[in-house]
Chain A
Amino acid sequence: MNSSTNSPNPPVIVIQGLSRRFKSKLALDAVNLNVERGQVFGLVGANGAGKTTLIKHILGLLKAESGSVRVFGLDPVADPVAVLSRVGFLSEDRDLPGWMRVDELIRYTRAFHRGWDTAYAERLREQFQLDPAARIKHLSRGELAKAGLLVALAHRPELLVLDEPSSGLDPVVRREMLEAIVRTVADEGRTVFFSSHLLDEIERVSDCVAMMVSGSVVLQGRLDEILESHFRLTLRFPAPLPAPPSLASFLHVSGSGLEWTALCNGARGELEAAAARLGARIVDETAASLDEIFLARVGSERSVKPEV
Chain B
Amino acid sequence: MQLHISPRDGVPIYRQIVDQVKYLVGSGRLVPGEELPTIRALAEQLVVNPNTVARAYAELEHAGLVTKRHGSGTYISDAGSPLKRAEKLKILARRADALLADAQHLEVELSELIDLVRERHKAMQS
Interface residues of A (CB under 8 A from B): 1-2, 4, 38-40, 175, 178-179, 182-183, 185-186, 200-201, 203-207, 223-224, 227-228, 230-231, 284, 286-292
Contact = CB atoms under 8 A, between A and B. Distances in A.
Interface of B: 5, 7-14, 39-40, 43-44, 47-52, 54-55, 101
A292 B10 contact: yes
Contacts of B10: 227, 230-231, 286-290, 292
Given A182-B43, A186-B40, A203 B13 contact: yes
A182 B51 contact: no
Contacts of B12: 223-224, 227-228
B53 to A, nearest CB: 9
A224 B43 CA distance: 16
A228 B51 CA distance: 17
Contacts of A178: 47
A1 B54 contact: yes
Q: 3 closest A-B pairs (Cβ-Cβ)?
A: A287-B10, A203-B7, A289-B10
Given A227-B10, A227-B11, 15 more contacts: A1-B39, A1-B51, A2-B54, A175-B47, A179-B44, A182-B50, A185-B49, A204-B13, A205-B48, A224-B14, A224-B55, A227-B12, A287-B11, A289-B8, A289-B9
Given A204-B7, A287-B9, A289-B7, A186 B44 contact: yes
A289 B50 CA distance: 21
A201 B55 CA distance: 19
A201 B5 CA distance: 12
In the complex, which of the residues A1, A38, A223, A230 has the most CB atoms of chain B within 10 Å of its own CB atom?
A: A1
A207 B50 CA distance: 9
A200 B7 contact: yes
A292 B9 CA distance: 10
Contacts of A291: 8
A277 B48 CA distance: 41
A290 B12 CA distance: 10
Given A182-B43, A182-B44, A186-B40, A40 B11 contact: no
Contact of A206 (B44, B49, B50): B49
A303 B41 CA distance: 34
In the complex, which of the residues B7, B51, B52, B54 has the most CB atoms of chain A within 10 Å of its own CB atom?
A: B51
B35 to A, nearest CB: 19
A40 B39 CA distance: 16
A204 B51 contact: no
Contacts of A179: 44, 47
B40 A205 contact: no
Given A288-B10, A289-B9, A185 B47 contact: no
Contacts of A186: 39-40, 43-44, 50
A203 B9 CA distance: 10
Contacts of B14: 224
B51 to A, nearest CB: 5
Nearest to B11: A287
Nearest to B10: A287
